Amino acid sequence: MNEEIPIRFQWTANELLNGYRWHFRHRFRPLYRYAFWLLIAAFIIGGAYQVLLSGSSSGGLPLLAAGLYILFYLRLLRPWIIRRQFAKRPDRDSEIEWRISANAIHARGAHSNSEFTWPALAKVVQTPAGFLFYPTAQIFHWLPRHAFSSDMDYERLSLLAQQHAMAFHRTA
């Protein structure tokens, strides 16, 4: 099992957004995510109800506006900001290649080349769509599942990460 696992993909804004989705999904437990969405729904429904009931905008409008803004920000504005920032990156749309073995992790892109070992990662998170490699709690590297040459390589990386990473998690 010392054979390298090749991972190769095009680094696009969609890949970055997909990585962010799984990063946030991993960071916030399901209970907190559901509670957050229920709170937003309560803001929108409660605010709209107060506006319709009272006929004035003073009571419910701030709640309605806050709920709609948060929803707008999360669904439209944040992805737009990420895409806009991505368009300014020098590594946008470049070919990324990872080669991972039990001994070392190699990453190569158009503007970078790095090599490190498993202890350099604070944690590894396996998702149904790929892996998140965390050198720190807030910084991650996204390795999408479609970049693996086979499902067998994807499972091999899962085993390697379980054996060698300081912390390993699975997110559904």
pLDDT digits (tens, 9 = 90+) for 90-131: 999 999 999 999 999 999 998 899 999 999 999 999 999 999
When pLDDT is cut at 50, 70 and 90, the band that residue 172 belongs to is confident
Quote the CA–CA distance of 9 and 16 in Å, as a whole number.
12
Q: What pLDDT shows up at residue 67?
A: 93
Alpha helices in 28-169 (DSSP H): 30-54, 61-72, 78-87, 151-164
Q: Which position has the token pair 């804004």?
A: 13
Give SS3 for 110: coil
Largest CA distance in the chain: 70
Closest residue by Cα to residue 105 from 18, 164, 168, 171? 164
Cα dihedral: 167, 94, 7, 18 (round 10): 50
**22 or 30, higher pLDDT:** 22
Cβ(127)–Cβ(22) below 8 Å: yes
Query: Which whole number is the average pLDDT over 61-70?
Result: 90
Give SS3 for 123: strand
Of 37-46, 53-62, 119-128, 144-153, give the lowest mean pLDDT range. 53-62
59 secondary structure, DSSP code: T
When pLDDT is cut at 50, 70 and 90, the band that residue 53 belongs to is confident
Closest residue by Cα to residue 153 from 35, 24, 50, 4? 4
* Residue 1 predicted with pLDDT over 60: no
Q: Which position has the token pair 């806050």?
A: 66
Quote the CA–CA distance of 59 and 48 in Å, as a whole number.
10
Q: Tell me the sheet residues that pair with 113.
A: 108
Q: What pLDDT shows up at residue 57?
A: 66
Share of the chain above pLDDT 90, in %: 72
When pLDDT is cut at 50, 70 and 90, the band that residue 28 belongs to is confident
Helix/strand/coil percentages in the chain, nearest 5: 50, 20, 25
